Chains A and B, each alone.
Chain A
Amino acid sequence: MKRLTLIRMKQKQKAKVVEILGGSALQNKLMSLGIHPGREIVKLSHMALRGPITIKVARTVIALGHGMAGKIIVETND
């Protein structure tokens, strides 16, 4: 088990969301899109130069800014 942020994840890696740092506004926003502790996600891509990160949550693809991605803590199996 390893804890890291979305940013540090590798492409195509699977992980489980364990914590969302930041205020309740951000938590609610992500929550309504299905990003919440306990959820499995897959990282799809990462744009260069602190660009947005795309992840797959259930069957939905979501792109989020670099800063936001840094506030999402996940846990991987390896």
Chain B
Amino acid sequence: MIKKIFLLGNPNVGKSVVFSRLTGVQVISSNYPGTTVEISKGYLKTEEGKIEVIDLPGAYSLEPTSRAEEVAVTFLKDGPMDEMAVINIVDATSLERNLFLTLQLIEQGYPVIICLNMCDDTTHRGIHIDTQNLEKILGVPVISTCAVTGAGIKLLIKRIEEAKPAQGNQLTHEARWQEIGRIVEAVQQLTHRHHTLREILEDASVRPLSGLMIAAAVIFTSFKIVRFVGEALINRIFDPVFLNLYQPLLERLSQALGHQGFTHHLLIGELINGKIDFKQSLGLLTTAPYIEFAMVLPYIISFYLILSLLEDIGYLPRLAILLDNLLHRLGLHGFAIIPVLLGFGCNVPGILATRVLESKRERFIACTLISIGVPCVPLQAMVFGLLGKFSGFYVGGVYLVLFSILISLGLILNRILKGYSPEFLLEIPPYRFPPLTVLGKKLFFRIKGFLIEAVPIVLLGVLIINILMFFRLFDFITAIFAPVIQDLFGLPKEAVVALVIGFLRKDVAVGMLMPLGLSAKQLFIAATLLAISFPCIATFAVLLKELGLKDLIKSTLIMIVISIIVGTILNFGILH
């Protein structure tokens, strides 16, 4: 009787897609190795009952060479062999490399069933695999599937019971590769064809000159699209809904509450010139939903649309090759660009993704750089919303300052931290073009995740601020920090509240700056400080989990020092 099913395979063969198909649990999958860093569990419902399904991180071998592989192998060794089945997911377009792990699994006596995935991709690559023959040679069931569309999954489920240990002798590595050569020879037929446009693009994007040109074009276009889609959503949909439909309702509520009092203060906030102002009133029903839905959500949608597209096509590992050189100087290697890009959406998944980096040193550098120098979408959206009305110099300035900090801090950390960072070794996936439905699902999943996490905290944040302000409890904190804020950073003492709230969520914090009537320079300094200083509470929690207390304290000290230096320099040095 099978009680547990493990999904195991090389990185980037579609384990997570198969997992979603089997369990109905949505997990993020992309076209680069190492998307899955955490173990996901779900249940497959069969006629006999529920079977636990475990999605393991990708592994090339059962002799672990990275942390992710170690995790996978430990899990596998844990379960009693007669109560489990291993679905070995194999990328049909790269049979040879994948069989190394398959043979190891069979040699060690695991009950294996093979899911020959990406079968749709083999046809136009001129690959034909004789699955029946493969089944006969290996002695375990082989089912061809295309998990993205769902083809073959039913058959896979039906045959899971057939997973069984096969005869296999323990081979040396060399002998195993020889054996694989023989198997591939017997089951795989290649038809020669001319290079397709896709392959020409694949090659061009890893060559030095054409690669850099493509990278520049991709980054520039992505940025333009994110801004264009974001602004269009705000101007065409969210702003009209708030101003034309929602505001009249609120005005009536405000009137019913008598335009003042504690409840009015909590729900509506302050009236500006006798009317509700979504950006300045600061109420639970006014500014809180406006910040999240009309200022941040549009950019969340446009950012994740582009990021998901780049992820699924498989462009990011190519960007990693191009940036390897630069990132080496910062004590990282090219692959670190993926956690950094994820961090631009939200620091939390960015920091989780640093698990693909091998050494502790690299992970410390990457986590520190992300939490200090990489602004998340909510923060960026607010910076656009706040500074956009002044000259582009200010918005550009925030990015310029953050970028300079990233580079100089990386250079310094690489100098002073002991040890060295390991080298780059990465499989580069082929370009793939996922069906739009798959992309849509992923986008929806990420937006839902954002709303579930953000909305309660934003409401809570605004509630706390309003209560504290109503009873004037902030005066105490303000008094303590006022000297630093006023004398060093040139900000009014009320800005202390915003900087403190930044610990809860960055978007609310920038929102707090709106009613203060700051000058462009002050807004610029405050927004930059919010980006650098303490990460929000969710990021803080992940940092603690990933780095441990000691490194978190180190990282935090670096953060405080940089905030004070940068705030002071910006106030006295550059701007007048």
Contacts and interface: CB of A to CB of B under 8 A. Distances in A.
B174 A36 contact: yes
Interface of A: 25, 28-34, 36-39, 44-52, 54, 57-68
Most central of B173, B174, B321 by chain A CB within 10 Å: B321
Nearest to B205: A45
Contacts of A39: 177
B321 A34 contact: no
B425 interface: yes
Interface stretch (B58-66, B235-243, B348-356, B469-477): B58-66
Closest 4 pairs (CB-CB, A-B)? A65-B423, A32-B61, A32-B60, A65-B424
Contacts of B322: 47
Contacts of B430: 61
Interface in B250-280: none
- Sorting the interface of chain B by its residue count into under 10, 10 to 19, 20 to 34 or 35 or more gives 35 or more
Given A45-B206, A65-B424, A51 B325 contact: yes
Contact of A62 (B96, B177, B423, B425): B425
Given A32-B65, A58-B96, 5 more contacts: A28-B65, A30-B425, A50-B325, A60-B97, A62-B428
Contacts of A61: 202, 206, 427-428, 430
Contacts of B173: 28, 31, 36
Nearest to B422: A65
A28 to B, nearest CB: 6
A58 to B, nearest CB: 4
Contacts, number: 108
B208 interface: yes
Contacts of B345: none
Interface of B: 60-61, 63, 65, 93-97, 100-101, 173-174, 177, 202-203, 206-208, 211, 317, 320-322, 324-325, 333-334, 423-428, 430
Given A32-B61, A60-B427, A65-B425, A48 B208 contact: yes
21 contacts: A28-B173, A33-B60, A33-B97, A34-B97, A34-B100, A36-B177, A38-B177, A47-B208, A47-B324, A48-B325, A51-B321, A52-B321, A60-B94, A61-B202, A61-B430, A62-B425, A62-B428, A63-B324, A63-B427, A65-B333, A65-B423
Given A54-B206, A61-B427, A64-B425, A34 B63 contact: no
Contacts of B174: 36-38
Contacts of B97: 33-34, 57-60
B12 to A, nearest CB: 10
B63 A28 contact: yes
B325 A59 contact: no
A30 B425 CA distance: 9
A62 B426 contact: yes
A54 B211 CA distance: 13
B96 A67 contact: no
B32 to A, nearest CB: 12
A12 B174 CA distance: 26
Contacts of B95: 59
Contacts of B96: 34, 58-59
Nearest to B180: A34
Nearest to B66: A29
B426 A63 contact: yes
Contacts of B424: 52, 63-65, 68
A47 B426 contact: no
B325 A49 contact: yes
A44 B206 contact: yes
Contact of B423 (A38, A44, A46, A64): A64
Contacts of A50: 325
Nearest to B424: A65
Nearest to B204: A45
